Structure 1
């Protein structure tokens, strides 16, 4: 096996501060932290394993970056690690090692391969229960390092081990009657247009859905799986069985998630219906709300008003989001129409590297759903949809879509700018930096930060030909040497925003096509009742809290568990946004433990919390707010807001 060199791994660590696949350890001894990292690298789906750099210390008051301390006895260290990998886990993990001298110090690199799905999960044996096996004994990689996953977080590994995906699961209490007969008839109609003589159209409804692998006979009764429900289920059945499976469409007057705290959204609309209907309705809503431009084809005498983004691009964007979404995560798909761009945010990182998006062949998270959408010509085959989008946008002089896939966050974001990235306005704005002789990639990074509020490594790679290290160096240069960007976050959560610069205003709003608010939004309900508009105060002042909440916080035990903590967290975040540090102070908890044990499950798994700035996860003012589902949950607990 060809390992990445120690020198290149250390260089990446210096450039990126932290890396999802590289972990530095002092390794003066083989402790629980080292073995937990090995377990996490072996388990994390799609990560491809990871590297442990041993003998490397984290930055401190005397060192600005990771620095080599060295390993005193390499043979002893490796022998102990190899022994632990055989004895501490229920299945032995084969690790590979190499050593090198760096700055006169002997360093060790361990490569931990990702285990095959059939060999997962890697579990600590029961007798190592003091530190490594408190809940499940299964460790995974997260944004804040390694963590022991809960039973819920263990389910994807167990499903993959069984050879099943979530879309094949038969949910409890599901019946044939949960399918919409009208949606089944719609499938027949759409399939007949594509292939009138299709074999499944000659069969009964039950046999047709069985052929599509959307139903299974259990105890003599046909029951739909998750894919069948998503494609053909009744809205009420979807609400009952898959409550977080919906799409939220949000219209914002401006270019940032929150610009006027008194009116967060111009309009909102949520969609909860089978995919065969949802795709068409969501596409129509986006098109109706899209600025239009005059177009007169050569040789024609009649003008036509065309949407700024072509209908085919919007169709492909919608289908990609719904087809590749991770439906096991209780988080709605979010479609946000800003004045200058369209953003679609989805649970489920790209199984295909972002650099290869648009190349031939697809990697499918939901193959059953994808097969149906391909058969109905909703989706392009063989992974050509993104290539088609890029070609159509290029023909219109628009910027190619910006894709950002965040594996540890399990998120995918697609951004469609409604103008050229380096259009006339942008080039005029960049002229104030002409004396700096910016490179084309530096200019793109600045414009993206100006347009979307922040830029990170993944976003810059999406609009350039840079690799991870080169993109990091470009952003670092704009931050350290140019002083044009301000750095926020750390490690994989690093982002950059524009520094406060003198000179030209950002971009004049007059005349920009994306600022046309006259688009048809009459069919969108202004449903903002579940959104808390008061975002101006992120203080920890408790004097304005309701008396019952103040008493509950005062009486909170340091050993209180989630059944006590979760109502308080949701209550606080329903009154006003709180960041993790403020919640930790209110609840007298450690920030990291609060995030991993409570905030992340409430947001990612339960869908009861949501980010204040969902489109920029690493936003400097990022905070948590209680979602509509969270408010409903509080009401069920008897807490009246």
Structure 2
């Protein structure tokens, strides 16, 4: 479909509205610049309140009966104080907003359409004042505290997920691009026997939204979760695909042995990705009582949870970057774009903060990741069960990296690894309602109880590093807790 066809269908839909709404305004020829500035602020804020992606002003449509009567308004030549109208408006609107004027030949009648994106991060202000639409009035937002609170409530969860990945698609085009059968399977819902039922469920989860002229929008959430091919969407969306690279040695200069650039959405491709990685891992030898001959090099639950965390917690607004999984001979690194919202040393105990709450919620419903706040617990439990070196969670530039290390005996672990393992063990015990003791640390490392003094040395070093403290200084046998307890 052409852009012009969508615009005509959009005007058709706007004219069919029974009356002006808080996000739609009709004008004849009024081109007063301050009036337009206030309208942009008010309609943008009101569109967010109404969960609309855009607000609109249409010149050339009569307010009463919505008849297309035409307009003489010409935004491209209109000046205000010697400046082009669009520049004059842009300089007075904060935050910056990508409004757009379009002159339309509407079946032989000249109309002007102003598209106004809904507010995203903060209320839109014109000349340092935010406005809102109430009926036909455009009052200051600050004079209506209840609406201001409601707007901030709407703004807080508005993130990348609600954006438009593709618009003005027919039903057939939507179903060709999205793996809708996967959605029904993973959410344990019966597949409806008619198209209306399919779209009703997809729209209820805001994976698709109605568009002009009976067409549909695929949201960013719908595309990133269910795309059959992410390359069917914009290059920015395609770059959100998960990349996997395996190296023949211990650094990136070694030969690449396997590479897979994900094509499918996260939900439709998740199981295949995890199975692919698991299939490449060598099976492990007996190291400690927890290992069996058929065990993969890394616990499957740890890989699954760390990959899911990378998908959920990435910063989707970072351009040209997506999750990256790298497999080396001695470790696995899982990197996602975006600085963490929680300090890496508190991933275990603090409630997770995600930029992508709808994505996280949907992946939990699809049973692709654990319930909120338990994923890192399971990673560390699995690592301790297999007496492996502790995982490392850290910030790398503007990204977060989780590192899993191949099995090594206690004697082969570095001093820093032993201290980090001690801290993680104390934290895991604390969040489980227990306390770390010398005996539990011996078990974690596979240290013979006759050599418990080795665990005592690690505990002292971990205390010196400020990572743990005695649970009760007056009673040394009470055990130890993390520094934040």
Q: Could you state the TM-score of these two structures normalised by the residue count of structure 1? A: 0.39
SS of residue in 2 equivalent to 1:266: strand
Cα separation, partners in 2 of 1:319 and 1:179, compared to 1, 3 Å:
farther
2:301 aligned to 312, 319, 341, which one?
312
How far is 1:349 from its partner? 2.0
How far is 1:336 from its partner? 0.8
Q: In the aligned structure 1, how far is the partner of 2:393 from the partner of 2:288?
A: 31
SS of residue in 1 equivalent to 2:284: strand
Q: In the aligned structure 2, how far is the partner of 1:253 from the partner of 1:218?
A: 49
- Judge conservation of contact 1:282–1:318 (CA < 8 Å) in 2: no
2:202 aligned to 199, 209, 212, which one?
209
Match of 1:187 in 2: 183
How far is 1:384 from its partner? 0.6
2:412 aligned to 414, 421, 425, which one?
425
Cα separation, partners in 2 of 1:316 and 1:180, compared to 1, 3 Å:
farther
How far is 1:266 from its partner? 2.5
Match of 1:231 in 2: 225
Cα separation, partners in 2 of 1:370 and 1:172, compared to 1, 3 Å:
same
Q: In the aligned structure 2, how far is the partner of 1:296 from the partner of 1:441?
A: 21
- Judge conservation of contact 1:213–1:368 (CA < 8 Å) in 2: no
Cα separation, partners in 2 of 1:202 and 1:354, compared to 1, 3 Å:
farther
Q: In the aligned structure 2, how far is the partner of 1:319 from the partner of 1:187?
A: 17
2:273 aligned to 282, 286, 300, which one?
282
Cα separation, partners in 2 of 1:371 and 1:187, compared to 1, 3 Å:
same
Aligned pairs for 1:74-89 within 5 A:
none
Structure 2: tracts of 5 or more residues without a match: 1-91, 95-119, 129-151, 423-460, 468-485
SS of residue in 1 equivalent to 2:253: coil
Q: In the aligned structure 2, how far is the partner of 1:224 from the partner of 1:276?
A: 15
Aligned pairs for 1:15-414 within 5 A:
117-118=121-122, 164-171=158-165, 173=167, 175=169, 177-180=173-176, 183-192=179-188, 204-219=197-212, 220-235=214-229, 236-238=231-233, 242-259=237-254, 263=255, 265-294=256-285, 304-329=293-318, 330-359=320-349, 361-406=351-396, 409-414=397-402
Deviations 1:330-375 (A, max 9, x none): 2132211011000011112222222221225321211121111111
Q: In the aligned structure 2, how far is the partner of 1:443 from the partner of 1:211?
A: 44
Cα separation, partners in 2 of 1:297 and 1:174, compared to 1, 3 Å:
farther
SS of residue in 1 equivalent to 2:179: helix
Cα separation, partners in 2 of 1:394 and 1:291, compared to 1, 3 Å:
same
Q: In the aligned structure 1, how far is the partner of 2:417 from the partner of 2:403?
A: 23
SS of residue in 2 equivalent to 1:371: helix
How far is 1:309 from its partner? 1.2
Cα separation, partners in 2 of 1:283 and 1:465, compared to 1, 3 Å:
farther
Q: In the aligned structure 2, how far is the partner of 1:443 from the partner of 1:385?
A: 17
Structure 1: tracts of 5 or more residues without a match: 1-88, 92-115, 125-157, 431-437, 445-463, 472-641
Q: In the aligned structure 1, how far is the partner of 2:210 from the partner of 2:234?
A: 23
How far is 1:180 from its partner? 4.6
Match of 1:569 in 2: none
Cα separation, partners in 2 of 1:404 and 1:281, compared to 1, 3 Å:
same
- Judge conservation of contact 1:216–1:223 (CA < 8 Å) in 2: yes
Cα separation, partners in 2 of 1:179 and 1:344, compared to 1, 3 Å:
farther
- Judge conservation of contact 1:360–1:382 (CA < 8 Å) in 2: no
- Runs of 4+ in structure 1 off by over 3 angstroms are 160-163, 171-174, 178-182, 196-199, 238-241, 294-298, 438-444, 464-467
SS of residue in 2 equivalent to 1:389: helix
Match of 2:114 in 1: none
Paired residues in the alignment total 286
Q: In the aligned structure 2, how far is the partner of 1:221 from the partner of 1:401?
A: 48
Q: Could you state the TM-score of these two structures normalised by the residue count of structure 2? A: 0.50
How far is 1:441 from its partner? 4.9
Deviations 1:78-126 (A, max 9, x none): xxxxxxxxxxx999xxxxxxxxxxxxxxxxxxxxxxxx953799x99xx
Cα separation, partners in 2 of 1:217 and 1:170, compared to 1, 3 Å:
same
Match of 2:427 in 1: none
RMSD: 4.5
The one of the two structures with greater contact order (alpha-carbon pairs below 8 A, sep at least 6) is 1
Cα separation, partners in 2 of 1:442 and 1:279, compared to 1, 3 Å:
closer
SS of residue in 1 equivalent to 2:216: strand
Q: In the aligned structure 2, how far is the partner of 1:178 from the partner of 1:251?
A: 34
Q: In the aligned structure 2, how far is the partner of 1:170 from the partner of 1:359?
A: 35
Match of 1:538 in 2: none
